[in-house]
Amino acid sequence: MGTARQADRADSTEQRRRQLLEAAERVVLRDGPGASMNAIAAEAGITKPILYRHFGDKGGLYRALAIRHTDALLASLRAALDAPRERRERVEATLDTYLAAIAAHPQVYRFLMHPAEDSSSSERGFDVGQHSAPLLRRLGEELAKVIAERLDLGPESEELARVWGHGIVGMMHAAGDWWLREKPCDRARLVRHLADLLWGRLAAAGDRVGGPRF
């Protein structure tokens, strides 16, 4: 009985945590990087101390939202890479998936990647860069795994896969950030330009024997 009660309590806590994250997302969609813990607590119908009890501080809330969105983005990127297309088309589909994700929810992207200039004084010590860097590293490592699974890059395959994974994520992040701010061209043109930049060695690399195709 005690174990069952503990499981029920854990399920209830997890469900409440999901509800609070959904409330946080609504505030972020409305307020962008200026979203405050006060506004999120008000949206959830609770006091700020209760919000702190679940997440600790704004950094804890940020990490929970980042994991939620990174998991969804990684699933979309893997689906684009696994689609039955030619390699160049898959490269373009993967780039487009990332750009489409940040364009669909720019306020969430800005909350995750950029410090709020209008945060309250109690939250100005929150360093977004401290938390966004691990998010980008995770994306880089996941892409490196995909590259290593699919491409035969010779004796330096593992090293090259990690360099390419982190390099491609860095390129997507920097180019996507610039594009989202300035919109110098439409998304399809940006995808083609970035794919052109990547295509040289990717076109020449062979598929790994026995592994999934890139």
Q: What is the pLDDT of residues 65-119, one digit of tens each?
A: 888 888 888 899 989 988 888 989 999 999 999 999 999 989 888 888 875 544 4
Question: Cβ contacts of residue 158 below 8 Å, gap of 6+?
Answer: 148
Which residues are within 8 A (CB) of 103 and not within 5 positions of it... i.e. 6 or more apart? 180, 187
pLDDT tier, 131 (very low <50, low <70, confident <90, very high otherwise) = low
Q: What integer best gives the mean pLDDT of the chain?
A: 84
Q: Which two tokens stand for residue 204?
A: 């020449």
Domains of the chain, earliest start first: 58-207 (1.10.357.10)
Write phi, then psi, for 206 (nearest 5 degrees): -85, 155
- pLDDT category at 11 given cuts 50, 70, 90 is low
Helix (H, G, I), strand (E, B) or coil at 161: helix
pLDDT attached to residue 9: 61
* Reported confidence tier of residue 211, pLDDT bands at 50, 70, 90: low
Distance of alpha carbon 135 from alpha carbon 131, whole angstroms = 7
Q: What angle do CA 116, 119, 121 make, to 5 degrees?
A: 140
Q: Which runs of consecutive H residues, i.e. helices, occur in the chain?
A: 2-31, 37-44, 48-55, 58-82, 87-104, 106-113, 128-150, 157-182, 187-204
Rg (CA), the chain: 20
Residue 93 one-letter amino acid: A
